[in-house]
Structure 1
Amino acid sequence: MNILDEILIKKQQEITELKRSYHRRSDQKKSSVSLYQSFQQSDRMSIIAEFKRASPSKGLINVDANPESHTKMYEQFGANAVSVLTDRPFFKGTMGDLQRIRQGINIPVLNKDFILDEIQIDRALDYGADVILLIAAAMKPARLEQLYRYATGLGLEVLLEIHTQEEATIANDLNANIVGINNRDLKTFDVDLATTERLAEQIQDPATLLISESGIKTTADVERVQQAGVRGILVGETMMQSSNLKQTFDELRIPINEVSLHDR
């Protein structure tokens, strides 16, 4: 059994409990900013800066970080959105993190979790998320489409994550307007930026916003994925471990090269 399978089994147990005990709420503020529109209009590489305390591949990363103060610095230094990992068993995150972060910043907030059921989407909305993550590798295409339509019907934006050519085809069939290419193989957790280069050219609609996820640490990494047509990057570990967040943002927020984007 690979890591993704272990996570999904645990997540199904969580969903069963959630259906038994969760009560809807609707008192959270939302961002007035569309992630899609703001990223497409930016003249610099847009950054989804991630708040995560741990991961299955790296273990503990920064368990003592304060959600509010850390993500306020993200916003201050140029983040275009914040991703909040809310999985507890494998990433040490909570929905409370999402709620606290939402209250403290004005840019879009992504609920990053292994979403397999509508009730998780309801909860993300209730806690203030503007965007949710759907992972193509986590479910069959028909189920993915159901959850995608459900989320967008509620007014949420969806970051649809892919890792293979088959999943790129699924994204095309869904007409997904925000596609995240994960450079980390969720079954082995190996990272390769060539995944972005290989899959970006498989996305047919030039209006699709491409986000490169995982393994981006340097200006050279950003330049490499931008050449593939990417307008946004999702950066977690690098941000959580940075000793100088302003410098890290300055190094990664390179000017957008429209020529490379038009070559897609």
Structure 2
Amino acid sequence: MEAKMSMRAATNTPAQMVSMASFNVRPKFNVFKPTPVWKSITFGAPLVIQAQKSEIKEVAAEVSEKDALKVKEWEVGMLQDEVAASQGIRIRRRPPTGPPLHYVGPFEFRIQNEGNTPRNILEEIVWHKDVEVAQMKEKMPLPSLKRALDNAPPVRDFLGALKAANARTGLPGLIAEVKKASPSRGVLRENFDPVEIAKAYEKGGAACLSVLTDQKYFQGGFENLEKIRNSGVQCPLLCKEFVIDAWQIYYARTKGADAILLVAAILPDLDIRYMTKICKLLGLTALVEVHDEKEMDRVLGIEGIELIGINNRNLETFEVDISNTRNLLQGERWQKIQEKGIIVVGESGLFTPSDIAYVQEAGVKAVLVGESIVKQSDPTKGITELFGKDISC
């Protein structure tokens, strides 16, 4: 979306802006017929006229307030988009829209019509997620969600489990993904039983599990996360969701999540800082995912990051190149990672023992794998084949 901005004198206060915006408001209300002149001399006429004026003012004020709220919402959205663009984030959080009717403010935007078509699959997912989360929040507001935390199962140490597996086997700790389908590959496993798959993963030596909770694009769901947690599986669980709102973190915790995925490609730095603090408040581990050098630099500049995932999949083309992991773990970046004690997870494109060895040599201490093992008739055996050896306890 291209936007041309022309500065207008930014001297108006917010109150003046709202007042100016209300000038063009044309409220809909029932207009009283003018009182005939001969009746104006009666005793009750002044009261009738005064009532009419009062009603007009009330309706106009109500419409102006609603219009001003739309203006503010749009301005906040535009500011968020500007901040995201300045940090190299190419995924738009919402479809491009023009300013509300009667908009008057310090900036005047003239928007080129780009259409409301997502530019790639991740953007499509994010736009859908924005609507989906808004609907879920209406059904369960945050205060109700926070009360539900009292009944959530205890948090398990996701990061600790990865470190322990790495120390035990000398190989990257495995986060095995419970995933039925993906937008790029379609259905990966027709005979899909999330609990059965989770137990097979645990038996095969997985340190942690990743559970897809997006329904539309991955045919997952929070019910899968909840079923696995209640099944007796001991592996800590990562809620793999497209998080755009802190509300989702609380919701994941009520369903038994021990960790949450935060994608740098869709979240500005301020959101990542805020959300990682919420995770720590709830005892959750935040896995912050990056795809390129700019995202890695951004995330390394944020205090408190403990776990970074490098996704080898190009978000625009969906092509996979595992050399991306090595490229992002060199020079000053690698020094910062070591200084901060950050654990790095290799993601996507890992199918063979040589793939695992390659990313391990690059510096990863954990790997997140889904497709290559979930498609196996026996996922337990699939893990052994992936690592070239039995890594079960």
Equivalence for 1:37: 160
The offset of 1:254, in angstroms, is 6.5
Asked if structure 2 preserves the Cα contact closer than 8 Å seen for 1:179 and 1:208, the reply is yes
Give deviations 1:163-208, integer Å, cap 9, x for gaps.
Answer: 1111111221124110000011223211110111111232413121
2 CA distance for matches of 1:128 and 1:189?
A: 31
Structure 2 unaligned regions, length at least 5: 1-118
- Which one of the candidate residues 248, 252, 262 is aligned to 1:134? 262
Alignment of 1:33-182 (within 5 A): 34-41=157-164, 42-43=166-167, 44=169, 45-104=172-231, 105-175=233-303, 176-182=305-311
Asked if structure 2 preserves the Cα contact closer than 8 Å seen for 1:31 and 1:107, the reply is no
TM-score (norm 2): 0.62
Asked if structure 2 preserves the Cα contact closer than 8 Å seen for 1:30 and 1:129, the reply is no
Asked if structure 1 preserves the Cα contact closer than 8 Å seen for 2:161 and 2:236, the reply is no
2 CA distance for matches of 1:83 and 1:52?
A: 8
1 CA distance for matches of 2:378 and 2:179?
A: 17
The offset of 1:93, in angstroms, is 0.6
Structure 1 unaligned regions, length at least 5: 256-264
2 CA distance for matches of 1:229 and 1:88?
A: 33
Partner SS, residue 137 of structure 1: coil
2 CA distance for matches of 1:28 and 1:188?
A: 39
2 CA distance for matches of 1:254 and 1:152?
A: 36
Partner SS, residue 360 of structure 2: helix
TM-score (norm 1): 0.91
Equivalence for 2:133: 15
In our comparison, the structure showing a higher alpha carbon Rg is 2
Between Structure 1 and Structure 2, how many residues are aligned? 254
- Which one of the candidate residues 379, 385, 393 is aligned to 1:245? 379
Partner SS, residue 320 of structure 2: coil
2 CA distance for matches of 1:232 and 1:226?
A: 8
- CA root-mean-square deviation: 1.6
The offset of 1:28, in angstroms, is 3.5
Alignment of 1:215-230 (within 5 A): 215-230=349-364
Instruction: Specify the code of the residue in structure 2 equivalent to 1:29.
Output: P
- Which one of the candidate residues 312, 315, 318 is aligned to 1:183? 312
2 CA distance for matches of 1:30 and 1:216?
A: 32
The offset of 1:245, in angstroms, is 2.4
The offset of 1:31, in angstroms, is 5.0
2 CA distance for matches of 1:135 and 1:85?
A: 14
Partner SS, residue 217 of structure 1: coil
The offset of 1:220, in angstroms, is 0.5
Partner SS, residue 57 of structure 1: coil
